């Protein structure tokens, strides 16, 4: 489905074409930035299913408001801001929803095993989510964007409105907390399995 001619098209061109209703350009834009948007949503929300829903929602909101993207060549940063706001709104809604629910202990969808993943990986994924849940929103976002998505500290700092030094310090603390929560044995098992 991905249009080969759009793979290397600059962001500005994709945004311009999306504004005129070009579905292929929008598809290319989503594929290019989905990972980053998903990581931000995961950092705020803490679990994959909600993060996937949030990422979808963020792209749809971005499409509706794409005329307000004043720097199309830097659409990634703009999408990041939308993803963060969408995720925060989603988190607030979830808090209200969970407060109304008598069974608010664990989201059932996350415990369902994926048919495409090995059981051991699935178990560790759940542990990772649990460990991530112990971090602050900022710590989760920093560690996911830096260690998983590969974003530089400058971009993360801009997104979160903190300094680069603060981003590095946050990453250091987040990694240490994760290692403490997960334990060396689990990590070794996981890495061996991979």
Partner 1 sequence: MNDDIVDLSSLDVTHDQLRMERLMREINRAAAPELERRALQSAPISTLAEVWRWRRMLVAASALVSLVGGSAWLLGPQTNRPAGFSPASAEVAVALGVPNELLPYFETELPQ
Q: Based on the number of CB atoms within 10 Å of its own CB, is 59 exposed (0-12), middle (13-18) or buried (19 or more)?
A: buried
Could you tell me the smallest distance in angstroms from the CB atom of residue 102 to partner 1? Answer: 29
* 78 touching partner 1, by CB under 8 A: no
Q: Which of residues 79-98 bind partner 1 (CB under 8 A)?
A: none
* 63 touching partner 1, by CB under 8 A: yes
Stretch that binds partner 1, among 34-42, 77-85, 104-112, 157-165 (CB under 8 A): 34-42
* Contact of 43 with 145, CB cutoff 8 Å: yes
- Answer left, alpha or beta for residue 183, where phi above 0 means left and psi between -120 and 50 means alpha: left
The residue length of the chain stands at: 194
* 104 touching partner 1, by CB under 8 A: no
Q: Which of residues 113-132 bind partner 1 (CB under 8 A)?
A: 114, 116-117, 121, 124-125, 128-129, 132
Nearer to partner 1, 70 or 116 (CB): 116
Q: Pick the binder of partner 1 from 136, 154, 169, 172 (CB under 8 A).
A: 172
Site string for partner 1, 131-170 (x = CB under 8 A): -x----------xx--xx----------------------
Instruction: Report d(CA 27, CA 2) in Å as an integer.
Output: 7
DSSP letter string over 112-135? SPPTTS-HHHHHHHHHHHHHHHTS
Could you tell me the smallest distance in angstroms from the CB atom of residue 99 to partner 1? Answer: 26
Chain contacts with partner 1 (rule: CB under 8 A): 1, 18-23, 26-27, 30-31, 34-35, 38, 42, 48, 51-52, 55-56, 59-60, 63-64, 114, 116-117, 121, 124-125, 128-129, 132, 143-144, 147-148, 172, 175-176, 178-179, 182, 187, 190-191, 194
């Amino acid at each position: 489905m991905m249009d080969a001619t759009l793979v290397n098209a600059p962001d500005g061109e994709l945004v311009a074409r999306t504004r005129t209703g070009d579905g292929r350009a929008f598809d290319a834009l989503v594929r290019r930035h989905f990972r980053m948007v998903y990581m931000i949503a995961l950092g705020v929300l803490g679990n994959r299913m909600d993060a996937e829903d949030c990422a979808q929602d963020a792209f749809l909101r971005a499409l509706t408001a794409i005329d307000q993207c004043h720097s199309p060549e830097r659409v990634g940063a703009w999408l990041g801001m939308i993803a963060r706001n969408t995720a925060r709104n989603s988190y607030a809604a979830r808090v209200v929803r969970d407060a109304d629910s008598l069974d608010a202990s664990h989201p059932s969808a996350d415990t369902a095993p994926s048919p495409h993943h090995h059981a051991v990986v699935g178990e560790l994924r759940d542990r990772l989510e649990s460990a991530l849940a112990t971090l602050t929103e900022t710590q989760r976002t920093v560690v996911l964007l830096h260690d998983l998505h590969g974003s530089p500290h400058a971009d993360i700092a801009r997104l979160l409105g903190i300094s680069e030094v603060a981003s590095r310090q946050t990453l250091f603390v987040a990694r240490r907390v994760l290692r403490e929560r997960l334990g060396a044995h689990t990590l070794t098992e996981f890495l061996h399995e991979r």
